[in-house]
Amino acid sequence: MSNIGSYEEKLKDFKWEISEKELEYTKGNRINIGEYCSDRICRMGKGDKLALIWQSHTGEIKKYTFNRMRVLTNAIAEYLKSLGINSGDRVCLFMDKVPELYFGFLGILKMGGIAQPLFSAFGGESLYTRLADAETKAIITQKKHVGKVRKILADLPKLERIIVVDEEEEEKLREKELYFSMDNATPVEHFDIFPSTAETPSVLHYTSGTTGKPKGAQHVHYSLISQYITAKYVLDLKDDDIYWCTADPGWVTGTSYGIIGPWANGVTQCVLDSGFKADSWYKFIEDHKVTIWYSAPTAIRSLMKEGNEVVKQFNLSSLRHLCSVGEPLNAEAVIWSKEVFGLAFHDTFWQTETGSMMICNYPGMKIKPGSMGKPFPGITATVVDLKTYQPIERAGIVGLIAIKPGWPSMFRTYWKNEEVYKSKFRNDWYICGDRASIDEEGYFWFVGRDDDVINTAGHLVGPFEIESALLEHEAVAESAVVGKPDPVNMEVVKAFITLKPGFMGSKELELKIMNFIRKKLSPLAMPQEIEFVDSLPKTRSGKIMRRLLRAKEWGEEIGDTSTLENDD
């Protein structure tokens, strides 16, 4: 029997108070995510239960019980306080998927700081933009990444502390740098956890947009109420499960469901700090007897590409429930997973801004391959007209996905950008920025983004940030960036570039520009294709029309071109 039971029955009687009651939280009282994910589980008598099974790319394995996690996160919290870091200060986590990343996240929250996780593959420019915007006070990183921080340190006057978790040679440390060894730290049995309440800021996750710099979505400790119950109902987490979420905590899935959701439920989770390789992933599942697997369509399509024979080399019988997140899960992937694993991947839809799952496929509910599923109990979702923002009553009509505000994990603002935050709401609805339709049975069907944001491998990449970086290359005069269809990653970045006088388009220049962006921003932002053009389509007011370039790549109708600069 699944945790959610009958979806239709849950819809009738669900209230967020169910989650509050199970977590023994009373409105107005203290609620600290760090405490709920560690100390509370120990108080429940599960201190000796494994919290984390971590495996490196070399095969090294480390295991931590909930009690060990509790005292180590206490040690991290106490250490941060000793450095003069106070409640409300932003502390960045810039690491690979090592235990220090996961425990550091909880330690920051325990001492009242705001955790700012960033993807470790970010280049200097991407890192600088987000640290400068947040006025980050401290960053926890590794020696392999500290070089990126050093290069931008002079332009970050608010950054006071750089904590390196794996550099034992003190003479190699530089200005503002300190070494902290988590595993060798003295365990702290008791720490006075910061008395955060429901609206106390907890996590700052940066997300890309079509214009301007990335925006920091500010979440609060009350988000736990949503993350706990959605993990229980949608992922179907139970006490004896071994859970694996493949997402990096640099992205919201890796924190909401790679840290908070499973540990608030007292569940053992596995982490593989390694890149994608089909046989390594299957071996990981086999070795650790993973029961619940939460992954992304890009990874699933990559597994499909490797073929069915490799699956047969491993014993994956421990698996009992599969879920997917980050981008639309195509019907073929659902059918394939049912064929090779005997289990269908259940698609889930949500965003950085929502903080938890919004529209999902649930255990025991009929799956329509290719559909996003139905709204989570407690969530009121619909599609609204593209212009009036009024709910569309007829089935099958495409509109914008809209959610009624008020769920616990909804972001509370964009960091220092209240104006853009308010623009996300229309007619008492939060507008997701994605287009979909709803069929006669209430299932949602994804159509596409309503803006120019590129969804590559489940990660949203803003064209403006890439275009701005491209203009810093000596050869680039103008640029426009769009998403191009890709069978594995859904979309990849394509750049249209006009060159400055004296430069000629060539394969060599294309590779140089690609590498320039990879180092400056990240591998995700790097264009997979560059097309050198004589001019870019613009409106008469001079605005580049990405829409026309994107339509060309996707084989779509170009639409109205009456505002084009050179249109006759």
Predicted model pTM: 0.88
Helix (H, G, I), strand (E, B) or coil at 251: coil
Type of residue numbered 36? Y
Residue matched to tokens 């090779």: 340
pLDDT (tens, 9 = 90+) of the chain, 568 residues, equals: 899 999 999 999 999 999 999 999 999 999 999 999 999 999 999 999 999 999 999 999 999 999 999 999 999 999 999 999 999 999 999 999 999 999 999 999 999 999 999 999 999 999 999 999 999 999 999 999 999 999 999 999 999 999 999 988 878 899 999 999 999 999 999 999 999 999 999 999 999 766 678 999 999 999 999 999 999 999 999 999 999 999 999 999 999 999 999 999 999 999 999 988 999 999 999 999 999 999 998 899 889 988 899 999 999 999 999 999 988 888 889 999 999 999 999 999 999 999 999 999 999 999 999 999 999 999 999 999 989 999 999 999 999 999 999 999 999 999 999 999 999 999 999 999 898 999 999 999 988 777 777 888 778 787 877 887 898 899 998 888 998 988 888 889 999 999 988 999 999 999 999 999 999 888 989 999 999 999 888 766 566 778 788 888 888 766 544 444 554 3
Locate 234 and state its tokens.
Answer: 């949608």
- The alpha carbon dihedral of 381, 386, 388, 392 has a sign of negative
Given a contact cutoff of 8 angstroms between Cβ atoms, the answer to whether 34 and 244 are in contact is no
All domains of the chain, ordered by start, with CATH?
Answer: 7-435 (3.40.50.12780), 454-554 (3.30.300.30)
Partner residues linked to 207 by β-bridges = 215
Residue matched to tokens 């991290």: 76
pLDDT for 98: 98
Ramachandran region, residue 364 (left: φ > 0; alpha: ψ -120 to 50; beta: rest):
left
Among 553, 558, 564, residue whose Cα is nearest residue 481: 553
Locate 195 and state its tokens.
Answer: 């008395």
pLDDT for 567: 46
Which residues, 6+ apart, have CB-to-CB distance to 305 below 8 Å?
488
pLDDT for 231: 98
pLDDT for 329: 87
pLDDT for 326: 87
Distance, CA of 451 to CA of 99 (rounded, Å): 36
pLDDT for 565: 53
Secondary structure, 3-state, 73-139: HHHHHHHHHHCCCCCCCEEEEECCCCHHHHHHHHHHHHCCCEEEECCCCCCHHHHHHHHHHHCCCEE
Q: Is 192 exposed, middle or buried (0-12, 13-18, 19+ CB in 10 A)?
A: exposed
Type of residue numbered 462? G
Long-range contacts of 158-163 (CB under 8 A, 24+ apart): 159/131, 160/83, 160/84, 161/83, 161/85, 161/137, 162/138, 163/83, 163/138, 163/139
Locate 24 and state its tokens.
Answer: 């023994």
